[in-house]
Structure 1
């Protein structure tokens, strides 16, 4: 897929990993619309990068349908999510434990349903943001690991519906396989685990090997979209030193 002039919607694209992806997409001449809640952050990214912006809550089901109908994107990237409350299992209330389920999974459900029901055009791509926690767990972040695994599974479920209904939409999960500093979720996790281990934040992050800052993450996602060898994969692992790994191949 050549990204030039392709219409791309990125949820949660005003900061962190989402912003790094938006920067990479703009550099590859895509026509990007960023969806997020923070109007100040949206104004900043709009001014700096010249992208279109929409202020909306990703857990607003009607907004998902309205935005996808209006923009009719070639690519949808579901990146938005809540910063998890950090703490051990025995320290968290249900409200704290479930925050990522109420935001990441609930929002993911609505946007995936909208993509399938409208539906997006045949040949479109939907990328669903997951996490390495979905593979290995994350004992200090409550329901976060389970929520990210659920999003991974939902991308696979959506592929099955696309095949069954002959929609021609490809759903793919993106799995960063390291904690990424200087992002809201990454810093929350790094700080909590560094404290628990009695080491400095940077020492903890060094355990993952080569860093993968947001813009580099964005370039790797662009490669998943542009390179033919990734067109039929379903789940991709992204890491600073290992690059892109196909975790699960073509859907049946």
Structure 2
């Protein structure tokens, strides 16, 4: 996919990993619309990068259908998510434990359904934000790991629906395989795990090897979109020192 003049919608694109991706997409010539809740952050990214912005909650089902119907993006990136409350399993309330299910998974469901029902045009790509926690667990972040694994599975389910309907829409899960600093979720996770180990956050983050700051993450995602060898993959692992790994390819 050549990103020049392609229309892209990025949820949660006003900060953190989402902002790094928006920066990369703009640099590669895409026309980007950022969807997020906070109007101040949206105004800042609009002024700096010249992108379009829409203030909406990703768990608003009607907004998902309306936005995709109006913009008809070639690329949809589902990046928005909640910062999970951290704590041991025996100390979390159900409200804390289920935070990412009520935001990340609920929003993911509505936006994937909207992509399929609108539907987006054939050849469109939908990138679904998952996490390395989906592979290895995350004992201090409640239901986060399970929620991110569910999003991974939902991308596969959506591909099945697309194939059954001959829609030509490709859903792909993006799995950062390290905790990333200078992001809301990453900083919260690093603080919790570093505290449990009795070390500093920088020392903890160094355990993952080479860092992958948000803009570098964005460039790796752009490679998944642009390079032909990734077109048929379903799940991709991204890491600072190993680059892009195809975890799951297309079903036979």
Q: What SS does structure 1 have at the residue aligned with 2:175?
A: strand
Q: CA RMSD in A?
A: 0.4
Question: Which residue number in structure 1 is paired with residue 186 of structure 2?
Answer: 186
Question: Which residue number in structure 2 is paired with residue 247 of structure 1?
Answer: 247
Runs of 4 or more consecutive aligned structure 1 residues displaced over 2 Å after TM superposition = none
Q: Take 1:219 and 1:92, find their aligned partners in 2: how far apart are those partners?
A: 36
Could you tell me whether the CA contact under 8 Å between 1:15 and 1:41 is conserved in 2?
yes
Question: Which residue number in structure 2 is paired with residue 231 of structure 1?
Answer: 231
Could you tell me whether the CA contact under 8 Å between 1:159 and 1:251 is conserved in 2?
no
How far apart are 1:14 and its partner, in Å? 0.1
Structure 2 runs not aligned, ≥5 long: none
TM-score (norm 2): 1.00
Question: Which residue number in structure 2 is paired with residue 140 of structure 1?
Answer: 140
Q: Deviations over 1:185-239 (max 9, x none)?
A: 0000000000000000000000000000000000000000000000000000000
Q: Take 1:26 and 1:162, find their aligned partners in 2: how far apart are those partners?
A: 28
How far apart are 1:250 and its partner, in Å? 1.1
Q: Take 1:77 and 1:150, find their aligned partners in 2: how far apart are those partners?
A: 16
Could you tell me whether the CA contact under 8 Å between 1:232 and 1:251 is conserved in 2?
no
Q: Take 1:198 and 1:228, find their aligned partners in 2: how far apart are those partners?
A: 45
Correspondence 1:126 to 2:126: yes
Q: Take 1:31 and 1:159, find their aligned partners in 2: how far apart are those partners?
A: 25
Question: Which residue number in structure 1 is paired with residue 9 of structure 2?
Answer: 9
Correspondence 1:176 to 2:213: no
Q: Take 1:118 and 1:24, find their aligned partners in 2: how far apart are those partners?
A: 27
How far apart are 1:251 and its partner, in Å? 2.9
Question: Which residue number in structure 1 is paired with residue 68 of structure 2?
Answer: 68
Question: Which residue number in structure 1 is paired with residue 112 of structure 2?
Answer: 112
Question: Which residue number in structure 1 is paired with residue 197 of structure 2?
Answer: 197
Q: Take 1:118 and 1:55, find their aligned partners in 2: how far apart are those partners?
A: 20
How far apart are 1:140 and its partner, in Å? 0.1
